[in-house]
Amino acid sequence: MSILVTGAAGFIGFHLCKNLLENGYEVVGLDNLNNYYDVSLKLARLKELERISIKEKIKFSFYKIDISDQEGIVNIFKTYHFKKVVNLAAQAGVRYSIENPSAYINSNIVGFNNIIEACRNFNIEHFVYASSSSVYGGNKLLPFGEGHSVDHPVSLYAATKRSNELVAHTYSHLYNLPSTGLRFFTVYGEWGRPDMALFKFTKNIIEDKPIEIFNGGDHVRDFTYVDDIVNAIMHIIFKIPRSNEEFDFKNPDPGTSWAPFKILNIGNSKPIKLMEYINAIERHIGKKSKKIMLPMQPGDVKETASDTSRLERYINYKPTTSIDEGIKNFVEWYLKHYSHELSCENNKIN
């Protein structure tokens, strides 16, 4: 039996495939390898997965395919007999959704529908998918909990992720398809995305370039280390949600249902100020940054904080990696992975 992971060459998808292979599970990975960020990083992740597959003697099959390709998705499901599907493929990025909305509709709406429809037609036991803390939008009640209202998104990206949750609930209700949506909170770590703060700050500080800090640095984020995210997903994949027999129809909870449906926050539950995060990066690089202070960006939120009590009760698991440890691991990976480029850059300067 193989487990399907879409977005396999992406940041979280790569780490999940790696963990599954190392734990003896055959994996089929899909990714369209788009150019939203450096494709060479995605190819390097796939190369690493191939290395692990050979080392562990566990099969990893990769297909370059866009999940908006309905016929291609159906053919993949026909070829394999999946029981578990994890959909991590999506067009990411809050700010980019303002510049290129159609990319989000194609991937996060059309593509998501293709995957969940295939899950229904091929009798998948459990459909797990990535949502986002962005769905909390204009909510000011902290920490964010799964029972909170999420009807006021402030970016198209958030709106597409909330749409995924609503579609998943409909399929759970109509077709008895067990589904679990995971609201990730600002994931960071090794092999991370170049468009995210940790990667951009590290790169620019090392290269002696200024870093752009929005809202004057007055942000608070619930940064969550990627290994903690993946460890939680590993537990969740094999825990199929059941209907909530105590569901209150007069006071409905968005995170649960009479159908086999569940939504869970996966965060660190220890939000920190952005400037503290930057200080930790500077400390592990051993170099101060040059800062450009900018106003708040459209679609952004000032503060995020996760209530992970439901996650803890559900799988008896709580993220534990400290910000300092996580940033240290990333900086060490970055220096190693890009050592050749850094060496060439230093030679130019000298």
Query: Model confidence at 98, in pLDDT bands (50, 70, 90)?
Result: confident
Q: Please give the pLDDT value at position 1.
A: 76
Q: Which of 157, 188, 277, 334 is catalytic?
A: 157
The residues facing 211 across adjacent strands are 291
Assigned domain for 253 exists = yes
The percentage of residues in the chain with a pLDDT greater than 90, rounded to a whole number, is: 85
Choose among 80, 274, 266, 117: nearest CA to 184: 266
Query: Model confidence at 93, in pLDDT bands (50, 70, 90)?
Result: confident
- pLDDT tens-digit readout, 50-60: 999 999 999 99
Indicate whether 112 pLDDT > 80.
Answer: yes
Indicate whether 308 pLDDT > 70.
Answer: yes
Q: Please give the pLDDT value at position 268.
A: 92
Single-letter amino acid code for the residue at 309? S
With tokens 């059309």, the residue in question is 110
Indicate whether 278 pLDDT > 50.
Answer: yes
Assigned domain for 88 exists = yes
Q: Pairing mode, if any, of strands 220-221 and 272-273?
A: antiparallel
Assigned domain for 244 exists = yes
Whether 157 is catalytic? yes
Assigned domain for 314 exists = yes
Query: Model confidence at 82, in pLDDT bands (50, 70, 90)?
Result: very high
Lowest mean pLDDT among 67-76, 180-189, 277-286, 338-347: 338-347
Assigned domain for 284 exists = no
Assigned domain for 343 exists = no
Asked whether 314 and 233 are in contact (CB, 8 A), the reply is no
Phi/psi for 100 (5° steps) reads: -140, 70
For residue 201, give Cα distances in angstroms to 197, 239, 291, 311: 6, 37, 10, 31
In this prediction the pTM is 0.94
Assigned domain for 100 exists = yes
Tokens of 24: 């003896």
For residue 332, give Cα distances in angstroms to 13, 33, 85, 245, 285: 21, 26, 32, 48, 9
Indicate whether 350 pLDDT > 50.
Answer: no
Lowest mean pLDDT among 145-149, 207-211, 343-347: 343-347
Query: Domain with 51 in it: what CATH number?
Result: 3.40.50.720
Q: Please give the pLDDT value at position 95.
A: 78
* Chain centre distance of CA 71: 26
Instruction: Give the domain extent around 236.
Output: 2-193+223-273+303-321
More confident call, 343 vs 277: 277
Q: Give a three-class secondary structure readout of the chain.
A: CEEEEECCCCHHHHHHHHHHHHCCCEEEEEECCCCCCCHHHHHHHHHHHHHHHHHHCCCEEEEECCCCCHHHHHHHHHHCCCCEEEECCCCCCCCHHHHCHHHHHHHHHHHHHHHHHHHHHCCCCEEEEEEEHHHHCCCCCCCECCCCCCCCCCCHHHHHHHHHHHHHHHHHHHHCCCEEEEEECCEECCCCCCCCHHHHHHHHHHCCCCEEEEHHHCCEECCEEHHHHHHHHHHHHCCCCCCCCCCCCCCCCCCCCCCCEEEEEECCCCCEEHHHHHHHHHHHHCCCCCEEEECCCCCCCCECCECCHHHHHHHCCCCCCCHHHHHHHHHHHHHHHCHHHHHHHHHHHC
HSE, side-chain direction, 13 A CA sphere, residue 7? 24
Q: How many structural domains does the chain have?
A: 1
Query: Model confidence at 185, in pLDDT bands (50, 70, 90)?
Result: very high
Asked whether 153 and 98 are in contact (CB, 8 A), the reply is no
- pLDDT tens-digit readout, 128-183: 999 999 999 988 899 999 999 999 999 999 999 999 999 999 999 999 999 999 99
Q: Is 150 exposed, middle or buried (0-12, 13-18, 19+ CB in 10 A)?
A: buried
Assigned domain for 118 exists = yes
Q: Please give the pLDDT value at position 306.
A: 93
Indicate whether 349 pLDDT > 80.
Answer: no
